[in-house]
Amino acid sequence: MNEHEHTASRPDEEAADLWYGLGRLYARAGGRGWPATRVGVTAVCVTGALVLLSAPVFGTGWVGSAPGPLVALPVLLPVTAGLLAGGLPLLYNRVRTLVRQRSLRRALEAEGEDPRRPTLDGLGLYYDEQLILLRSEYEALRHTPGDRARRKGLMMELAFGFAPEDPFECGPLNVLPGSSRALALRGLWESRLRLQLEDGEGPPALGLGDDLAYRIFPREMTTAAELATRAAYLEISRDLMFRRHGAEPLRRLEKNGGRGEVYRRAERDLTEYERIADSTRFTGFARATRRPPRRRRP
C-alpha cells in the first residue's frame, strides 16, 4: 500500500484525529440502515409464518369474531414485530450518533475548528484518494439532469473549490493519487477556496445528511478505506464510460481512436476496479472504514 501524502497544510494531530473521528462516526451511521431493514423484514416474515402456522392449532374463527381493530391482528402482528426489531435499534443508534456528534463538535470548537466546515482552512485533511472520489462524484452530478443534482453540484463547488473547467477527467480518469496532477489540482481547488473567503463567501455548513449522500467529511486512509475509496471512484469512472461509449467501451474507443492514451486509461480503470472488487469482496465504504490498525499520516 502506497503512502500518499497530504500536499497542503494540516491541522494539528489532535484536531485531525477529531475530524477523522467525525468521519468514522458518519460512515458507521451510513452503514446501519440496511442491516436494520434486513432485521425488520426478517421479523415480518418470521412472525407472519408463525401466525399462519398457528391456524391449525387455534383455528381462524377468532379473527372474524375479534372486536374492532383486532380483526387486522394477523397483519398487525408481523408489521409491529418488524418495526420493533428493525426500527428500535436504528433509532437507538441514531440517538447515539447524534450524542457522539455533539461531543466531537464541541471538542473541535475547543480546538478552534468549525465542525460544520471541514474545508474552511483548506484541503489538508483530505487524502488524494478521497479528493478524486469527491471530484468524480461532482463530475457525475454534472451529467445528471434535474435541480437536485444542480444544487448538490453547487454545494461541492463551494465546499471544495471544484469547477467544470478543472483539468480533471473521469470516465476514464486522467489523475492518480500521489501524482503531480493530483498535487496541481489540489492547489487549484485550494486557491479557489481562498478566493471565496476573501470575497466573504466561505464553504457551506455541512452535516450528517450531506455525508450520507456524498461522504464529504475527511476520512483517514487506512488500508481498507483506501481500497473502498478507490473502488468507489473507479465505479463512477466505469459508469461514465458505459454512458458515453456503450456496453463495450474499450471496443468503441479502439475503433474511434486506436489504443492511445484514452484507451489505456480506460483499460487501467476497468482492470483495477475488477481487481479491487474481486480481491476485497467490496461491500461498501461504511463497512470498510470501521476502526482499523491506523496508518500514520505523513
The answer to whether residues 41 and 149 belong to one domain is: no
Residue 43, pLDDT > 90, answer no
> What's the pLDDT at 112?
93
> What's the pLDDT at 88?
60
Residue 28 lies in a domain: no
The answer to whether residues 157 and 92 belong to one domain is: no
The answer to whether residues 72 and 132 belong to one domain is: no
Mean pLDDT, residues 112-127: 95
Asked if residue 262 lies in contact with residue 37, where contact means CB atoms within 8 angstroms, the answer is no
- Tens of pLDDT, residue by residue over 197-233, are 999 888 999 999 899 888 899 999 988 889 999 999 9
Residue 220 lies in a domain: yes
> What's the pLDDT at 213?
86
Residue 3 lies in a domain: no
How far from the centroid of its chain's Cα atoms is residue 188's Cα?
Answer: 24
Residue 146 lies in a domain: yes
Residue 59 lies in a domain: yes
Domain boundary residue, one of 59, 81, 110: 110
Distance CA(190)–CA(273), nearest Å, equals 29
Structurally, the chain folds into a number of domains equal to 2
Give me the domain span that covers residue 163: 124-288
Domain boundary residue, one of 47, 82, 110: 110
Q: State the chain's mean pLDDT as an integer.
A: 80
The answer to whether residues 38 and 101 belong to one domain is: yes
The answer to whether residues 77 and 143 belong to one domain is: no
The answer to whether residues 82 and 104 belong to one domain is: yes
> What's the pLDDT at 121?
92
- Tens of pLDDT, residue by residue over 237-295, are 999 999 999 989 999 998 888 889 999 999 999 999 999 988 765 444 433 433 333 34
Distance CA(284)–CA(27), nearest Å, equals 10
> What's the pLDDT at 7?
46
Residue 256 lies in a domain: yes
> What's the pLDDT at 196?
93
The larger pLDDT score, comparing residue 23 to residue 69, is at: 23
> What's the pLDDT at 49?
60
The answer to whether residues 84 and 160 belong to one domain is: no
Domain boundary residue, one of 81, 110, 139: 110
Residue 78 lies in a domain: yes
| E-state strands within 192-294 | none
* Backbone dihedral region for residue 70 (phi beyond 0: left; psi -120 to 50: alpha; all else: beta): alpha
The answer to whether residues 106 and 132 belong to one domain is: no
The answer to whether residues 68 and 131 belong to one domain is: no
Mean pLDDT, residues 97-109: 93
The answer to whether residues 161 and 249 belong to one domain is: yes
The answer to whether residues 235 and 198 belong to one domain is: yes
> What's the pLDDT at 294?
39
- Tens of pLDDT, residue by residue over 133-191, are 999 999 999 999 999 999 999 999 999 999 999 999 999 999 999 999 999 999 999 99
Residue 4, pLDDT > 50, answer no
> What's the pLDDT at 89?
61
Query: Most confidently modeled of 49-58, 64-73, 132-141, 193-202?
Result: 132-141
Residue 296 lies in a domain: no
- Count Cβ neighbours within 10 Å for each residue of 213-249 and write b for 16 or more, e otherwise: ebbbbbbbbbebbbbbbbbbbbbbbbebbeeebeeeb
Selection from 237, 230, 234, 238 nearest residue 288 by Cα: 230
The answer to whether residues 178 and 242 belong to one domain is: yes
Distance CA(253)–CA(258), nearest Å, equals 7
Measured in Å, how far apart are the chain's first and last C-alpha atoms?
14
